[in-house]
Amino acid sequence: MKDFLVACVGKPSAGKSSFLNAVSDAAAKVGNFPFTTIKPNHGVAYVHIDCPCKRFGKQAQCAPKHGKCVDGTRMVPLRIMDVAGLVPGASTGEGLGNQFLDDLRTADLLIHVVDASGTTDAAGKWPNIVRRHTATAQSAAETLALQFSGYGANLSCVQKSLDRCGMKDGLDTWDEDAVRKVVDGFLDERFPTIIALNKIDLPDSDKNVDKIFRKYDPSKIILTSALAEVFLRKLHSQGFINYHEGTEFFDLADESNSLKPIPAATQSRLEKVQDLVLFRYGNTGVQATLKLAMDTLQLIPAFPVRNINSFGDGVAGGGSSGGGGKEKTGVFRDCVLVKKGTKVGDLMADLLGESKKFCLYAETVGGVRLGEDDEITPNNSIMSFKLSGDAVRE
């Protein structure tokens, strides 16, 4: 199946690299000056999903090949990258120019990281665009296609986004809200986009949060503190706390665990993070952002298993290695993210490749047969593919 990629974009110093570090294994350079990132950083983030092992009481045997599963909460890998800071006009060569837009071409979704403590500003270059538009007597779509060319836009993509947000020609009369609507419409057409409204731990953020919520679709905004998440994860990896990612909870050292006592200076910082972020917002928001990314991309997890009764190892019912307990290698070893609407046959082709022709049938829990044209849904997402070789052996 396609390996999905999400990319963090946003203005310089918004916290893109911090966000990447907060959710992934990356160690991207972070700095309090613009354009710290020149070359994109890549990482693997883990999205938390409900693992079926819990439903079947098999948490102890659950053994993901990638990521891990903690008591039925499964961490599924998702590729993520950040890029250099985006400034208005990047598509015409300002800032770091087109280079970083190239890096984005393969992204499936953008996480627009916004510094909530900063001032919001509209694209400063709009008057120039209007001037050129008027001088060249082009249509609105033509002018914008040129402007968005760095984002991989073509005329039809721009035209579609204009139609979708109900904007016609008369670009020179658009006010700020209209321009914003058009830009948002275009981004939605080209890339699904969600907003990580970052730095909510800073005092100035409050007033901007309201403003931004009024301007954008609130269902696409998550309040985040990448800094708090990085801090909590660091304390966790250093053995000071047991941080329950995605929640406001962590365990401290006591007789029942082997955690280390926290030094006084760190303790006061931890209390601050609790006061400013965890108690106020319930969590740091970064895990929720990944979840929203997954929902926006309409990804659902599918669990190919070798044995539909034991949920044992392997993608397809190919040859058995012979001997050994059925669950020697654990259950629900594989998990793939598929886009809603994906057909059973598509997944089959992807996982089995050439061997697809030996596939007799696919089945899900309870021995229910699946047709190649059946869509994968949360109800049939555990599936096994019966190959002819297998049928002979059994």
Ligand X SMILES: Nc1nc2c(ncn2[C@@H]2O[C@H](COP(=O)(O)OP(=O)(O)OP(=O)(O)O)[C@@H](O)[C@H]2O)c(=O)[nH]1
- The footprint of ligand X (CB under 6 A) covers 10, 12-18, 30-32, 34-37, 82, 84-85, 198-199, 201-202, 225-227
| Helix, strand, coil percent values for the chain (each to nearest 5) | 40, 20, 40
> By C-beta, is 35 or 279 nearer to ligand X?
35
> By C-beta, is 31 or 378 nearer to Mg ion?
31
226-237 and 264-273 helices, crossing angle to 10°? 140
> By C-beta, is 16 or 306 nearer to Mg ion?
16
Question: CB of residue 256 vs ligand X: minimum separation in angstroms?
Answer: 32
- Residue 18 binds to Mg ion (criterion: CB under 5 A): no
Query: Of 350, 311, 347, 303, whose CA–CA distance to 327 is shortest?
Result: 311
- Residue 24 binds to Mg ion (criterion: CB under 5 A): no
> By C-beta, is 186 or 281 nearer to ligand X?
281
Question: CB of residue 227 vs ligand X: minimum separation in angstroms?
Answer: 3
Query: Of 350, 284, 279, 352, whose CA–CA distance to 316 is shortest?
Result: 352
Question: CA separation (Å) from 87 to 80, 83, 93, 137, 173?
Answer: 21, 12, 10, 27, 24
Query: Of 127, 138, 135, 131, whose CA–CA distance to 169 is shortest?
Result: 138
φ, ψ of residue 126 to 5 degrees: the values are: -55, -45
> By C-beta, is 41 or 143 nearer to ligand X?
41
- Residue 13 binds to Mg ion (criterion: CB under 5 A): no
Question: CB of residue 265 vs ligand X: minimum separation in angstroms?
Answer: 17
342 binds, among ligand X, Mg ion, none (CB under 5 to 8 A by kind): none
Q: Is the dihedral of CA 379, 384, 387, 389 positive or negative?
A: negative
Among 21, 24, 37, 147, binds Mg ion (CB under 5 A): 37
- Residue 17 binds to Mg ion (criterion: CB under 5 A): yes
The DSSP bridge pattern shows strands 73-82 and 5-9 to be: parallel
Per-residue binding letters, 300-329, with Mg ion (x by CB under 5 A): ------------------------------
* Helix (H/G/I), strand (E/B), else coil: 258: coil
Give the residues lining the site for Mg ion (CB under 5 A). 16-17, 36-37
